[in-house]
Amino acid sequence: MFWNLKTRFVALIIVVIIAGSLIAGYLIGIGKVVVPYVPSGASSTVDSSSTVCTTNGETNGVILQIVQDNYSSRPARIVPVTGAAVNGSDVYYCGNLKHEGTFITTTTNSSGLARLLYGGGGMYYLNVYYQGPETYSISVPVAPLATTYVIYNISTGNLTTNVCYYGEHC
C-alpha cells in the first residue's frame, strides 16, 4: 500500500511538470511570455518582440506608359517610346523589417506600355533604359487591391499617376 501511494505521487508530479511545460511553451509561442535570449559567454539579455502587419491585399501592379516629346514634327507632339527596357523592385516595410521583391525586365510595346502586374506593395522603384547609357529612375506608390496607371515622359521627367480600384474607370 505504501509503495502504491508513493508511485501515484511520483506519477502526479510528472503529469504536473508535463502540463506546466506545455502551457509555458504555448504562452512563449504566442508571445504572451517573453524569454530573454542570452548568447553564450555574454552576461546581458536581449528582448525580442514581434510586429503584426495587416493589409487589404497586394496591389494589382503598375501599367506604365513611356512617352517622349517629338520636336521634329510640326506641331511638336508626344509619342510612345517603343522598346524601352523596364525593371525594378517593390519595397514595403512592416515595422522595421524591409520586404523587397524584384521584377523581371520587360520591354515597352508599340504603345509605349509595360505591364508590371507583379503584386507586392508599398512603392515600385523602376528603372527605364532607352537608347544609350542613361537610366531613368522613377518611384511609383501603389495601393492594395488597385492598379496604378502611370505615364512617364522621358523628355520632361513628368510623371502622371492614377490609382484605380476594381470597377473604376481610369
Q: Is the peptide bond before 141 cis (omega within 30 degrees of 0)?
A: no
Rg for the chain, CA atoms, rounded: 29
DSSP 161: E
The average pLDDT across 114-130 equals 91
Query: Taking the model in full, what pTM does it have?
Result: 0.65
**pLDDT tens sequence across 65-111:** 999 998 877 787 999 999 999 999 999 888 788 888 898 999 999 99
pLDDT at 154: 94
Structural element, H or E, at residue 4: helix 2-29
Structural element, H or E, at residue 70: strand 61-70
Find out whether 150 and 160 touch, Cβ atoms under 8 Å. yes
Strand 85-94 and strand 123-129: pairing? antiparallel
Query: In which residue ranges of the chain is CATH 2.60.40.180 found?
Result: 61-165
The mean pLDDT value of the chain amounts to: 81
Cα torsion 28, 29, 32, 36: sign: positive
pLDDT at 110: 96
Which residue, 160, 131, 132, 146, is CA-closest to 64? 160
How far apart (Å, rounded) are the C-alpha atoms in residues 31 and 165? 36
The average pLDDT across 134-149 equals 92
Fold (topology level) of 61-165: Immunoglobulin-like (2.60.40)
7: three-class secondary structure by DSSP: helix
How far apart (Å, rounded) are the C-alpha atoms in residues 159 and 65? 10
pLDDT at 10: 73
